[in-house]
Amino acid sequence: MGEYGLNLLPVGKAAEVVRIQAGELIRNRLLDLGLVPGTIVEAVRKNPAGDPVAYKIRGALIALRSEESRLVTVRPVE
């Protein structure tokens, strides 16, 4: 219900991490960056070319390419 890839999160909006669908290596890396299920992520700004996008994750600004961010499933939050 209303779940989508983090890469589709519009700038200025926030969403909650539901799960990560990636191989072990990338999954570990994304978890290490703080993308644990339940985490609130906000898309802060976008490269003019569209990629990468800077996300606010647990107090830090982290840029992700859509190759990685699409592996993170999120759901909208109020």
- CB-CB neighbours of 69 under 10 Å: 23
**Minimal distance, residue 41 CB to other proteins, in Å:** 12
Applying CB under 8 A, the span of 4-12, 29-37, 47-55, 65-73 interacting with other proteins comes to 29-37
38 near other proteins (CB under 8 A): no
Which CA distances in Å does 75 have to 6, 24, 35, 44, 49?
Answer: 9, 22, 13, 17, 25
> Is residue 12 within 8 Å of 68, Cβ to Cβ?
no
Candidate list 14, 16, 34, 51; residue touching other proteins; CB under 8 A: 34
Positions in the binding site for other proteins (CB under 8 A): 25, 28-29, 32-34, 57-60
